[in-house]
Amino acid sequence: MSALAYVGFGANLGDRRAKFHEAVAALTDLPRSTLMGCSRLYRTEPVGLVDDGNAFLNAVIAIETELSPRALAESMRKIERDLGKSPAHRSDRSRTIDLDLLLYGEEIIKETDLIVPHPRMHERAFVLVPLAELAPDVRIPTAACTVAAQLGTLPKTELEGVRVFATETPEHPRCS
């Protein structure tokens, strides 16, 4: 059985756009998985960092997969390591890449090292704006509402901080 999973991408160090395309390519290569689409890249200011980090590029990637949620999450951690993220990375520091499993179908998973839907996605414009671009009518199981409805609850000031970084050209599609 397959599920539609949504993966959040973020990076604020190095060539952020290149890291996005490398992550998409790696996710595309996962076994028993098909890339379904990508949002545009959005520029956002860092939230909760203790260092003086650069602005982030954020996006969401949709994948149809037969991998279990755990297998997908483990594959995402490997992709992060392969693309330069240290296993000892702290979440309050800048990063070359961050991949988060936002949604896996309508499953709710609460394990020590795997929580789906992502526990803070419902309050983060940098997640909900690109997710709403791909899947406005998808229901967030833990919020009992759609992505678009949840996005509508965020303060206007939060939404203003999420700006389209660049519109990709046909020579450089969003998902490549």
- Nearest-angstrom CA–CA distance, 70 and 118: 13
Q: Tell me the per-residue pLDDT of 120-151, one tens digit each, with 9 for 90 and over.
A: 999 999 999 999 999 999 999 998 899 999 99
- Nearest-angstrom CA–CA distance, 49 and 37: 29
- Nearest-angstrom CA–CA distance, 71 and 29: 14
**Mean confidence (pLDDT) of the chain:** 90
- The residue count for the chain: 176
Structure-model confidence comparison of residues 59 and 87, the more confident one: 59
Instruction: Give, for 125, the enclosing helix (H) or strand (E).
Output: helix 125-134
Map residue 70 onto helix, strand or coil: helix
pTM above 0.75, yes or no: yes
C-alpha of 17 from chain center? 14
pLDDT at 127: 96
Domain spans of the chain, in order of start = 3-166
Structure-model confidence comparison of residues 174 and 152, the more confident one: 152
Cβ–Cβ under 8 Å, residues 119 and 102? no
E strand intervals along 14-67: 33-38, 41-44, 56-65
Give the CATH superfamily of 3-166: 7,8-Dihydro-6-hydroxymethylpterin-pyrophosphokinase HPPK (3.30.70.560)
What is the arithmetic mean of pLDDT over 65-72? Answer: 97
Q: Which two tokens mark 24?
A: 């998409």
- Which residues, listed in sequence order, are joined to residue 164 by a DSSP beta bridge? 42
pLDDT at 168: 57
